Structure 1
Amino acid sequence: MSRSERLTAALETLDRAFAREEPFPVTGCTYCYGDQHFALLSGPLDLVPDDLVSSVAGEVPDHWDAFPRLYRRLVPRIVRPLVTGRLHVDEELIASRLVQAGWTTWDASLTEALRDVWSAWWQSTLHTHPAPVHIRATLGSVTVATDSLRPWLDTWAATRTSSADAHLADLVDDVMSEADVTDLRMGFYDEYAAAPELLGWLLTEVRDRVTDTRLDDPSIHEYLRTVARRSG
């Protein structure tokens, strides 16, 4: 099974797992949404218009009276376009919303299906360049969603392909354009402090695969030595 086929299979499993989520009467902010929106969100999932799905996907939680339940029910309609680059909502914002919805506390069948999607999406991304979603956004999304960066970096280090290396070049160019790379963060709300892990990884495990000399900046090396001394 190819990586793209694995992602397709993971999305189909996600659809089946979340199909058990029953419709319920949706209510919320009547300033931003009308009765017709609440009626659509309370009905069959496949009849909810794409633009309404996108609106709910990025909306702040306090606009809904039962935000976790609503977001959970919409997961198949949100995640599929997310990983295929068709949602038109900031990918890292979706990760933050899923965390706010408490996705890791849902029934095991639901969380396992989502975890499989994250893994399949990451593998598919590393083997496809260019990918539907930029590598920085993809890495930030899976990192924030799982509150963990290292597993995704380990997979990347083990993937020695031209596409994975091209993504490395893209990521380095992106992060080295930061005003302060030693304060590098991931997530729509900058909730994940990524600098120590990511810079350390770039300078050791994959340095031989990156030609960008900006990584040789002495200030970066000094920063990592300082982090090591503090953690030691």
Structure 2
Amino acid sequence: MCTKERQGRGGEPGVVGSSRRRLDAALDGLAVTFRGMTAHPDETNCTCHWGSAEDLARLKVADVELDPDLLRRTWQATDWTDKASVLRRILPQFASTLVSGIVTSLYDMERAGLAFALGNWQEWPAEQAAAVEEFLRAWWAYTLTEADPPVPAHDLLVLIAEASGTLSPWLDAWEALSGPVADGHLAAAADRWEYDLLGDQLPWSAWEDEEGMRAELTAWLVRHAPARLRAHGAPEDLLHRIRLLGVTGPDRWEDPHWPGHRY
């Protein structure tokens, strides 16, 4: 997953345009691949907590756009009997909504990633799984090359890591990019993550292997971030905080540059 791509100097119109065209093509691919999909005919949900019988009936009709509230309730629900068929039903509209940046909170990034994970999309027929994978890859590539994407890179990483169950390909893709845009996203992410990581916590709630993801993200930042942050002009205190991620035990919080975080 995730072929390495070179950004060049970063943020040039041609690069962004190319990545946007790839993302648009991936969204079109989802629309074509999942055209005609419906929830299972016997699918049910609680009318008291999820929605009405009329709402449920709309999920069993193909290619009818759902109103935003129904779409939200559908992807946030985790108690579907046939989670894969529900995800396939809403996927083209769901993906377009996500890309637009309407979903903004970290909690909802986690839940959106979980919706993909619970659908077990990697086990779908090859054409369907490939369409989902290309969407995630294209969205990530666009975000890393766009100076002001609708969804910040540090938030999108939460969604795609949870959706795919792994950090490695997404971090590899970020590492392969060079230039001020990708480095700017790295600086913003490092600033967002350092507090949790210095407390030996993953900056989000992972569905699976939280400790493994925390260790991988920490090691990647310690190895890869300092030179790029320094070249980007990141504040000295941020550089020290990232350095301290590579220090353990009392040496970390007794360091003269310990930021004074309390947990």
TM-score (norm: length of structure 1): 0.85
Alignment CA distance shift 1:146-1:2 (3 Å): same
Q: Deviations over 1:87-146 (max 9, x none)?
A: 467122111122112111111111100100111011001011221112222111111211
CA contact (8 A) 2:200 2:214 kept: yes
| 5+ residue gaps, structure 2 | 1-16, 250-263
Taking the aligned partners of 1:178 and 1:79, their CA distance within structure 2 comes to 29
CA–CA distance in 1 between the matches of 2:150 and 2:143?
Answer: 8
Q: What does 1:158-177 correspond to in 2, within 5 Å?
A: 158-177=176-195
Mapped pair 1:28 → 2:8: no
Shift of 1:84: 2.5
Separation in structure 1 between the aligned mates of residue 242 and residue 92 of structure 2, nearest angstrom = 39
Alignment partner, residue 112 of structure 1: 130
1:207 aligns with 2:226: yes
**1:133 maps to which residue?**
151
Change (3 A) 1:179 1:198: closer
Of 205-214 and 4-13, more deviation after overlay is shown by 205-214
1:2 to 18, 21, 28: 18
Task: Provide runs of 4+ in structure 1 moved above 6 Å.
Answer: none
Q: In 1, distance between residues paired with 2:52 and 2:225? A: 52
Matches within 5 A, 1:83-102: 83-87=99-103, 90-102=108-120
1:67 aligns with 2:93: no
Kept after mapping to 2: 8 A contact 1:95/1:144: yes
Greater RCO, CA 8 A, separation 6+:
2
Matched residues in 2 for 1:154 and 1:179: separation? 19
Alpha-carbon separation, structure 2, partners of 1:163 and 1:120: 17
Choose from 30, 51, 63 the match for 1:45: 63
Instruction: Report SS of the residue matched to 1:176.
Output: helix
Gaps of 5+ in 1: 224-232
Give the Å deviation of 1:153: 1.1
Corresponding position of 1:55: 73
> How many residues align structurally?
220
Cα–Cα, structure 1 residues 57 and 88, in superposed 2: closer, same or farther, change >3 Å? farther
